[in-house]
Amino acid sequence: MAVLDHPEISNAEFAQFQKLIFRIAGISLPDTKKALLVGRLGRRLKHFGLPGFKDYYQLLASGSEADELQTMVDLLTTNETYFFREEAHFEFLAKTILAEHPPGSPFNVWSAASSTGEEIYTIAFVLADALGLDAPWSVTGSDISSSVLATAERGQYWLDRTRGLPPAYLRKYCLKGVNSQEGSFMIAPEIRRHTHFLQVNLNRTLPAQGKFQVIFLRNVMIYFEAETKRQVVARLVEHLHPGGYFIVGHSESLNNLTESLRAVKPTIYQLPFE
């Protein structure tokens, strides 16, 4: 049977994928996202020469293609981001959190849904300005998607991705691409050496990483149900230093999700000192 250019998916088949992505990543895919799923996964049917979504689901369930489950997750997770997105958070980081930090002591930040890396490097720019390039600070970036993490770790972007990035930072902490890399820019090595990357599923036991002064978890909980949110926040709070800050997206809130953190201002929370 020939593969359709625009394969259709039945309600029952779509429900199977909804359950699968929820089980793997805790993401609640609403019925309104059916067209998105067809558009993003339809190319995988063509790749494997499959006639329909039922066959693709069976392929995933069989485990015969070991990496395909990760490919599906990569395609279904949305990764919109840009430098200095929700700028008020970075102002608070610079003017309040870092201003109170003892000079010379380590400062570690976790970007727990880092996508393609713009958030990681925005944080790094702020830390470099406030603490200096030789200070003991680091930014850890994690995401469930292996493909976006590869982009983040590479640290190279096309110049049309400079949305939100002040020209001063572009000049100070980025390198302009030349020859075959013309039209792109690379995050400077002195910034990148302060960054670390790892693939993390927030709905599973988190890897041992020590404690952080700040954890960013922005614009990802909107895809989780309430109980999933509570579990994810509880896991992450275990990695906060007492007095550390937990920052969520401007459309998100931790109200009724945790009693461990106190609200400092909307979207910014703090773990009380012991």
Q: Give me the sign of the Cα torsion angle 256, 242, 124, 152.
A: negative
Best CA proximity match to 216, nearest among 247, 260, 253, 254: 247
Please give the helix or strand (H or E) that residue 274 lies within, else none. Answer: none
Beta strands 137-143; 174-176: pairing state: unpaired
Q: ∠ CA(143), CA(144), CA(145), 5° rounding?
A: 90
> Catalytic site residue 23?
no
Measured CA to CA, the distance from residue 165 to residue 85 in angstroms comes to 9
Q: Which of 40, 154, 230, 235 is catalytic?
A: 40
SS3 63: coil
Q: Which of 74, 143, 192, 218 is catalytic?
A: 143
Q: What are phi and psi of 259, to 5 degrees?
A: -105, 0
146 Cβ neighbours under 8 A, 6+ residues apart = 70, 74, 199
The residue assigned the tokens 């925005």 is: 122
Q: How many helices (H) and strands (E) does the chain have?
A: 10, 10
> Catalytic site residue 5?
no
Measured CA to CA, the distance from residue 76 to residue 36 in angstroms comes to 8
Best CA proximity match to 147, nearest among 46, 77, 44: 77
Dihedral of CA atoms 203, 205, 211, 214 in degrees, nearest 10, equals 0
- 75 in Cβ contact with 110 (< 8 Å): no
Active site residues: 40, 143
